[in-house]
């Protein structure tokens, strides 16, 4: 059990997907202007991460043993079709939720966090439960980073920022400081 | 994509600076930030990306008549994934230490938006030769950005360049530049510097256009 808790904490804080592994940067830079949107995207991301983790575990255990060189190709196909299916199911079952998440779901397919999770999980040889904890931790970490970033950006809208720094340069430097703060977790669990 | 015809020269040069994928279009940030903590890693990553770009642009452009519009994106992704698998295996065989340092990020070339963007915007509607020129230019632009990042981060973060000491023994490395925050900060400062240059150039151009007194003379 301790092992699982550690995997969760590590994925969420110590090796935060966005701030220390640079995965899922596109939404981090693009969609993180409002806290409410950030939260919704974070939730959708977490959901797909969990599904991707299940799918990767299934592929690794039952299929890829015989053809490891097909790993990347099969991961990307499965993730893309998975997102498509989830989109259809949500649309049918809960139109309200679909309206909430709608635009973000297809974007998630090309989010490197999802493929990254599948590859990391494979490289580290995680089992089913470990993979699930890893996915939920990674999703929580992504959401945390998105919300932090969105809160800071909402504040900087009212601050007087030098004209030169406006836009991406500012976002990157804020992300740098956030990442610096997350480096503080690096010692966690080492002792 | 612009409708007017471009010359082969433009196809090649556009991606290198004016439409640099990383510094101007801000695509492919994930590898540009993640693996640029040393020059050697940046070079390996750029080479792998260049290979995947050239290979997939070639195939996509060659097969453009046979790919149905509805499934074109999935087809491009499959083609890209195939070349990434090749690059992954080649790196593992040739430079195992660097392959290990790059880790999962070689596989993540599949979701590098630069490559998919070039297929969708250019290779899928141009002849093979032009598509290759475009891939070469875009790859070179990516390499330039990766080398800028890699050099700054290795020199400041480690005090070395390609493993050789640059400063005397008294130099205390700024370790933060080799760590993840350094990636964000380096790119942030490069962008600041570029927009500073751009503004200065715009100001100089204005001064040249309207030297003192010219306005009045024209009016008169």
Domains in chain A: boundaries: 2-184
Tell me the pLDDT band of B1, cut-offs 50, 70 and 90. very low
Q: For A36-42, what is the mean pLDDT?
A: 81
Give pLDDT, residue A125: 85
Is pLDDT of B15 > 70? Answer: yes
* Mean pLDDT across A5-15: 87
Q: Is B172 left (phi over 0), alpha (psi -120 to 50) or beta?
A: beta
Q: For residue A106, what pLDDT is reported?
A: 67
Whether B216 has a pLDDT exceeding 60, the answer reads no
Nearest to A173 among B112, B185, B195 (CB): B185
At residue A157's C-alpha, the angle toward residues A151 and A160, to 5°, is 125
Percent pLDDT > 70 in chain A is: 90
Tell which phi-psi region holds residue B27, choosing left (phi > 0), alpha (psi between -120 and 50) or beta: beta
Give the pLDDT confidence score for residue B52 in this predicted structure: 95
Query: In this complex, do B180 and A22 lie within 8 Å of one another by their Cβ atoms?
Result: yes
Average pLDDT over residues B190-212: 82
User: pLDDT for A139-167, tens place per residue?
Assistant: 999 999 989 988 998 888 888 888 877 77
pLDDT at B43 (0 to 100): 93
Half-sphere exposure of A128 (CA within 13 A, CB side): 5
pLDDT value of position B55? 95
Query: What pLDDT score does B186 carry?
Result: 93
Cross-chain CB nearest to A179 (options B26, B82, B181):
B181
Model confidence at B217: pLDDT above 60: no
CA angle A183, B180, A20 (to 5 degrees): 65
The pair phi, psi for residue A169, each rounded to 5°, is: -60, -45
Mean pLDDT of the region B126-130: 90
For the segment A62-68, the average pLDDT, to the nearest whole number, is 81
Q: Does the pLDDT at position B135 exceed 90?
A: yes
Q: Provide mean pLDDT across the span B10-39.
A: 85
Residues B114 and B21: their CA atoms lie apart, in Å, by 7
Please state, in angstroms and as integers, the Cα–Cα distance from residue B207 to each residue in B134, B193, B212, B214, B216, following that order.
36, 21, 9, 11, 15
Per-domain residue ranges for chain B? 9-198
What is the arithmetic mean of pLDDT over B79-86?
Answer: 93
Distance CA A135, CA B40 (A): 31
pLDDT score recorded for residue A110? 63
Instruction: State the average pLDDT for chain B.
Output: 85
- What length is written for chain A? 191
Dihedral over alpha carbons B166, B171, B177, B178 (to 10 degrees) = 70
The confidence score (pLDDT) of residue A164 equals: 79
pLDDT at B161: 84
Kindly tell me if the per-residue pLDDT of A135 is higher than 90. Answer: yes
Q: What does the pLDDT look like over A99-122, one tens digit per residue?
A: 766 566 666 766 778 888 988 888
Interface test with A, best of B30, B86, B103 (most A CBs within 10 A): B30
Taking each helix axis from N to C end, the angle separating A71-93 and A112-124, rounded to the nearest 10 degrees, works out to 130
Q: Cβ–Cβ of B74/A115 closer than 8 Å?
A: no
Tell me how crowded residue A11 is: count the other CB atoms within 10 A of its CB: 25
B141: confidence class by pLDDT, cuts 50, 70, 90: very high
Lowest mean pLDDT among A52-66, A109-123, B74-88: A109-123
* Residue pLDDT, tens place only, B172-188: 888 888 888 999 999 99
Which of A29, A123, A179 is nearest residue B104 as measured by Cβ atoms? Answer: A123
Nearest-Cα distance to chain B for A119, in Å, is 6
A71 token code pair = 């790993």
* N-term to C-term CA, chain A: 18
pLDDT of B33-80, one tens digit each?
888 888 999 999 999 999 999 999 999 999 988 988 878 888 888 999
Euclidean distance between CA atoms A42 and B31, whole angstroms: 22
Identify the residue whose tokens are 């400041």: B156
For every residue of chain A, DSSP letters joined together read -HHHHHHHHIIIIIT-TTTTT--SHHHHHHTTTSHHHHHHHHHHHHHHHHHHHHHHHHIIIIITTS-GGGHHHHHHHHHHHHHHHHHHHHHHH-HHHHHHHTTHHHHHHT-HHHHHHHHHHHHHT--HHHHHHHHHHHHHHHHHHHHHHHHHHHHHTTS---GGGTTHHHHHHHHHHHHHHHHGGGGTTT-
- State the pLDDT at residue A191: 41
Name the residue of chain A whose CA is nearest to B191's CA: A169
Any chain B CB within 8 A of the CB of A161? Answer: no
What whole-number distance in Å separates Cα of residue B120 and Cα of residue B64? 11
């Amino acid at each position: 059990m301790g092992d699982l808790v550690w995997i969760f904490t590590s994925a969420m804080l110590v090796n935060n997907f966005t701030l220390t592994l640079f995965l899922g940067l596109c939404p981090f830079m693009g969609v993180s202007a409002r806290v409410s949107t950030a939260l919704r995207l974070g939730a959708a991301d977490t959901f797909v991460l969990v599904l991707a983790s299940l799918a990767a575990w299934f592929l690794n255990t039952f299929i890829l043993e015989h053809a490891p060189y097909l790993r990347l190709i099969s991961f990307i196909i499965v993730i893309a079709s998975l997102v498509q299916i989830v989109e259809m199911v949500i649309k049918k079952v809960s139109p309200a939720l679909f309206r909430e998440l709608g635009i973000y779901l297809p974007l998630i397919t090309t989010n490197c966090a999802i493929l990254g999770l599948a590859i990391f999980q494979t490289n580290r040889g995680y089992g089913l439960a470990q993979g699930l904890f890893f996915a939920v931790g990674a999703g929580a970490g992504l959401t945390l980073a998105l919300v932090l970033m969105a809160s800071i950006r909402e504040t900087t809208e009212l601050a007087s920022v030098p004209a030169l720094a406006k836009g991406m340069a500012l976002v990157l430097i804020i992300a740098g400081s956030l990442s610096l703060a997350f480096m503080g977790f690096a010692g966690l669990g080492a002792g | 994509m612009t409708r007017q015809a471009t010359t082969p020269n433009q196809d090649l040069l556009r991606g290198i600076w004016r439409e640099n994928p990383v510094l101007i279009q801000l695509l492919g940030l994930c590898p540009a930030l993640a693996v640029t903590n040393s020059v050697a890693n940046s070079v390996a990553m750029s080479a792998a990306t260049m290979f995947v770009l050239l290979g997939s642009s070639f195939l996509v452009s060659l097969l453009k008549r046979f790919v149905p519009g509805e499934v074109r994106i999935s087809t491009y992704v499959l083609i890209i994934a195939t070349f990434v698998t090749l690059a992954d295996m080649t790196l593992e065989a040739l430079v195992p230490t660097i392959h290990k340092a790059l880790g999962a990020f070689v596989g993540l070339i599949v979701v590098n938006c630069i490559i998919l963007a070039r297929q969708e915007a250019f290779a899928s509607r141009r002849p093979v030769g032009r598509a290759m020129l475009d891939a070469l230019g875009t790859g070179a632009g990516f390499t330039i950005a990766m080398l800028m990042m890699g050099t700054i981060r290795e020199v400041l973060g480690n005090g070395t360049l390609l493993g050789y000491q640059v400063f005397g023994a008294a130099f205390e490395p700024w370790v933060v530049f080799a760590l993840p925050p350094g990636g964000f900060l380096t790119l942030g400062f490069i962008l600041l510097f570029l927009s500073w240059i751009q503004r200065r150039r715009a100001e100089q151009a204005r001064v040249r256009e309207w030297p003192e007194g010219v306005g009045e003379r024209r009016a008169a």
